A and B are shown apart, each in its own frame.
Chain A
């Protein structure tokens, strides 16, 4: 139990994919303008990360390891892309409400590096199958936390009178770096709590 909590909290706060590992910056900047689209995107990311890990982990362990480990990037991208398409087709048929909610974000995150990143890092870290799933959920929740927090930051920026040179992307990137710095303060917190 303690181990699960450590992995989960570690993935959400300390190894936050967006703010510490700098993966998935594209949706982080692209869809964090509105709260509902930020949440929609994040839920889709949690969903896809978990499923992708569940499928790629056995493929790596039983098929690729140890002789063809170098194929993992190629195979993982292929598998994740196909998987997301399949999930989309199934959702459209059976859960149209969820499909409408996730909408365009589901195919968008097919090629999100955070999704590929989490599947590869799970293997690099040497997690078991169960731990990998937990880590993926944690990574997805971390993405959600980053998106929602940054959405708040952006809304505060919007209404302000910003010098022309900093308007738009520059001010957004500076704000993102400050939020990232704030998250670095979490390093060591989980070890302090459980260790």
Chain B
């Protein structure tokens, strides 16, 4: 009786108890002091680990906040997270500038062609490294969706061969922008309504040949803009978001429709 039942029970019980005691003693004895604010701050962050704040994840950012980093760097969390975090840290809350991604190419398959029947790996990166991609415009969106893969919010999709951002879902974290091999995606303040849907620096005549909606560098927007926000640099229109007052004149005047004018935080409609 003792040998067959009681002793085995005792053995396991004692080993278990010893392990438990040893662990609890060790956790007291070897305790590392961690600031409890780190876990509090971490709880307020959205946990997307997107890296928009510039740290390697929400855990790293929470540690950095407690160490003295700014509280308004979390783009997906927005002002709500920033306020709560600031309250925990006891510092003045600063506004988070809401951001949104824009794709600086609108040359979908109806308006811009392809120069090859690409059969390689179905990623933008691979396609772009093969003779600058399959599009007739070497700056254009390749449409294999590297950005779609990167997006954690289902905010970007490929429509007619071009990436389109859903402004209602986009948090402006910038994960997609890092993936695009042609660097077509830019993160702009969500209030900015006008953006240039083209990234081609080629001469106007060539751009017109390969894409119907490309920027041809005609400078009409530059002349139209009342505030000097639109500038043509290197055959490509650019809009300075700090100067732009969202009047929409440039988009109306643009002969090819390369300048997009959309409602703030609404679906980015293609013209």
Contacts and interface: CB of A to CB of B under 8 A. Distances in A.
Interface string A75-101: 100110110011001101110100000
B1 to A, nearest CB: 14
Nearest to A70: B8
Contacts of B67: none
Nearest to A159: B121
B116 interface: no
B203 to A, nearest CB: 35
A168 to B, nearest CB: 13
Contact of A75 (B7, B12, B22, B26): B12
Contacts of B92: none
Contacts of B205: none
A74 interface: yes
Given A68-B7, A68-B11, A86 B23 contact: yes
Contacts of A59: 15
A64 to B, nearest CB: 7
Given A159-B126, A161-B122, A89 B26 contact: yes
Contacts of A189: none
Interface in B115-141: 119-123, 126
A81 to B, nearest CB: 8
Contacts of B8: 68, 71
Interface in B1-38: 3, 7-8, 11-12, 15-16, 19-20, 22-23, 26-27, 30-32
A89 B126 contact: no
Q: How large is the interface on A (under 10, 10 to 19, 20 to 34, 35 or more residues)?
A: 20 to 34
Contacts of A161: 119-122
Interface residues of B, number: 22
Contacts, number: 51
A157 to B, nearest CB: 11
A74 B12 contact: yes
Contacts of B15: 59, 75, 78-79
A78 B12 contact: yes
Contacts of B22: 82, 86
B30 A92 contact: yes
Contact of B30 (A64, A67, A89, A159): A89
A165 interface: no
Given A85-B23, A159-B123, A160-B121, A63 B32 contact: no
B23 A82 contact: yes
Contacts of A82: 19-20, 22-23
Contacts of A79: 15, 19
Interface in B96-127: 119-123, 126
Contact of B3 (A64, A67, A74): A67
Nearest to B121: A159
22 contacts: A59-B15, A64-B11, A67-B3, A67-B7, A68-B8, A71-B8, A71-B12, A74-B12, A75-B15, A78-B12, A78-B15, A78-B19, A82-B20, A89-B23, A89-B27, A90-B30, A92-B30, A92-B32, A93-B32, A94-B30, A159-B121, A160-B121
Contacts of A85: 23
Contacts of B120: 161
B219 to A, nearest CB: 43
Contacts of A160: 121
A71 B121 contact: no
A145 B11 CA distance: 38
The 9 closest A-B pairs by CB, nearest first: A82-B19, A93-B30, A159-B121, A89-B26, A89-B30, A68-B8, A92-B32, A86-B26, A85-B23
